[in-house]
Amino acid sequence: MGCCLTSWFLKKQTALAISTTEAKYVSAGKACQQALWMKQALVEYGVRLDDIPIMCDNKGAIDLNKNPVQHLRTKHIEIRHHFLRDNIQKGNISIEKVSSEDNISDILTKPLKRESFNYLRLSLGMMEQID
């Protein structure tokens, strides 16, 4: 969208999350899988990417990805969900904080006020503002 390669899908999570941090952590891992697939597909076209940023609006999920220490509150998270953490450590992916106001994915998932909708739509780089 605009100047960025974007992939988006909606799927009910099969894992039961007991907190929003855990749900965002699992979702960021799925985004990592998709980003690495796109990175590999681009190699076939001669485009090489070093570090792919994944934007997340949950500070707890970001901290959980950056800290490999097992905590009492996260020990129940299945090993397969630590895929993103492993790729951050390898340098394939980075995870960055995006504020709730600038989270472009909200336009696809939430009802928004007109001002927020127009701002995010302009951020997509696809359309002009409608008054």
Tens-digit pLDDT profile for residues 65-81: 776 555 545 555 655 66
**CA–CA separation, 40 and 26 (whole Å):** 22
Q: How much is the pLDDT for 74?
A: 56
Give the phi and the psi of residue 112 in degrees, each rounded to 5: -125, 155
The average confidence (pLDDT) of the chain is 77
Tens-digit pLDDT profile for residues 5-45: 666 666 666 666 667 777 787 888 888 888 888 888 888 88
Q: What is the pTM of this model?
A: 0.68
